[in-house]
């Protein structure tokens, strides 16, 4: 069992207050929910990434992960993205989900480096689940890579959706070829206010084949926060963004082709703040252009 301390409970209470404050700030607006294009299944638009934050299987990490996942669920979130190569992240997530009984409340996505049955078996064991919601081919590099094995696993009921991922611009040509040929259910791509290459190349193709889109590294691996250090959210954005995290995430959610954003964190207060982007209105096209100009002029 994961031991939750009095300090942990106090932190969880603080994050619950933050989540309620976000609700109040957005006039208790319902969460932003997006449809998965292929099926129409509805999913909350802000999820959780586990790279780095969940990668050590120790008591401190498991406690933090429990609080973060609990915050995600209690604030209306559902999607968690992990990978077989994220250190111990699958094991940590599996421990939390199993101990807390969270499986039915979550949409769990993981990634394999190749269509390897042994790697899949290991991921399922670590995650303590017999079935995944989304199984993705990680870091597509070769235009000839196939999803045939992934689709076979889907047909067998091992996963409900299949997808492909990349966070390297040099591999976008390979991604384009694989997406067009294999027509995955989901595409996960590096996309942020500070890195908009996917807008021109990957998102139009994903929309054309009716694939859901998940955005990896929506804070630009921390670069966006460094760019605005010492600054406050501009007045013209405060009616839709209560923090910089919400500013950056709502820029992405303002693109209707994006199914969900998946910022990574091991901090429940940050999780609550990120989930605030799932409430209230989104920036319109003019405001999104203004957000781009604001960042580019820093």
Q: Which regions of the chain are under pLDDT 50?
A: 5-6, 9-10, 20, 23-27
- Predicted pLDDT at 26: 46
Is residue 167, in this structure, part of any structural domain at all? yes
Q: Which of 76, 56, 69, 133 is nearest to 101 (CA)?
A: 69
Is residue 213, in this structure, part of any structural domain at all? yes
* Both structure tokens of 177: 């070829």
User: What is the β-pairing status of strands 186-190 and 159-166?
Assistant: parallel
- Predicted pLDDT at 6: 42
Q: Tokens 């964190």 label which residue?
A: 265
Is residue 62, in this structure, part of any structural domain at all? yes
Per the structure, how many domains does the chain have?
1
- Predicted pLDDT at 28: 65
pTM equals 0.91
Is residue 18, in this structure, part of any structural domain at all? yes
Is residue 25, in this structure, part of any structural domain at all? yes
Is residue 192, in this structure, part of any structural domain at all? yes
pLDDT one-digit tens code per residue, 170-200: 999 999 999 999 999 999 999 999 999 999 9
**Domain of 33, in residue numbers:** 6-296
Is residue 1, in this structure, part of any structural domain at all? no
Q: How far apart are CA 222 and CA 232, in angstroms?
A: 17
Q: Which domain CATH number covers 75?
A: 3.20.20.100
How many contiguous H segments (helices) and E segments (strands) does the chain have? Answer: 12, 10
- Predicted pLDDT at 15: 53
């Amino acid at each position: 069992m994961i031991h939750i301390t009095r300090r942990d409970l106090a932190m969880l209470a603080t994050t619950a207050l933050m989540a309620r404050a976000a609700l109040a700030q957005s006039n208790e607006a319902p969460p932003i929910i997006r449809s998965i294009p292929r099926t129409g299944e509805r999913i909350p638009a802000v999820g959780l990434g586990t790279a780095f934050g969940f990668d050590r299987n120790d008591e401190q990490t498991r406690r933090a992960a429990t609080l973060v996942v609990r915050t995600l669920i209690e604030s209306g979130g559902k999607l968690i993205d992990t990978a077989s190569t994220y250190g111990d992240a699958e094991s940590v997530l599996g421990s939390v989900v199993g101990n807390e009984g969270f499986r039915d409340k979550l949409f769990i996505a993981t990634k394999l480096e190749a269509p390897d049955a042994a790697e899949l078996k290991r991921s399922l064991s670590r995650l303590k689940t017999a079935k995944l919601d989304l199984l993705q081919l990680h870091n597509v590099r070769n235009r000839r890579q196939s999803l045939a094995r992934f689709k076979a696993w889907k047909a067998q009921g091992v996963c409900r959706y299949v997808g492909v991922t990349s966070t390297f611009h040099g591999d976008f040509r390979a991604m384009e070829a694989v997406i067009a040929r294999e027509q995955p259910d989901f595409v996960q791509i590096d996309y942020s206010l500070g890195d908009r290459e996917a807008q021109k190349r990957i998102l139009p193709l994903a929309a054309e084949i009716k694939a859901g889109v998940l955005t990896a590294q929506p804070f630009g691996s921390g670069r966006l926060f460094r760019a605005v250090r010492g600054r406050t959210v501009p007045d013209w954005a405060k009616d839709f963004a209560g923090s910089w995290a919400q500013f950056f995430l709502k820029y992405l959610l303002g693109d209707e082709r994006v199914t969900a954003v998946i910022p990574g964190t091991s901090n429940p207060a940050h999780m609550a703040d990120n989930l605030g982007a799932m409430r209230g209105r989104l920036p319109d096209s003019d405001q999104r252009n203004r957000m781009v100009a604001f960042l580019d002029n820093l």
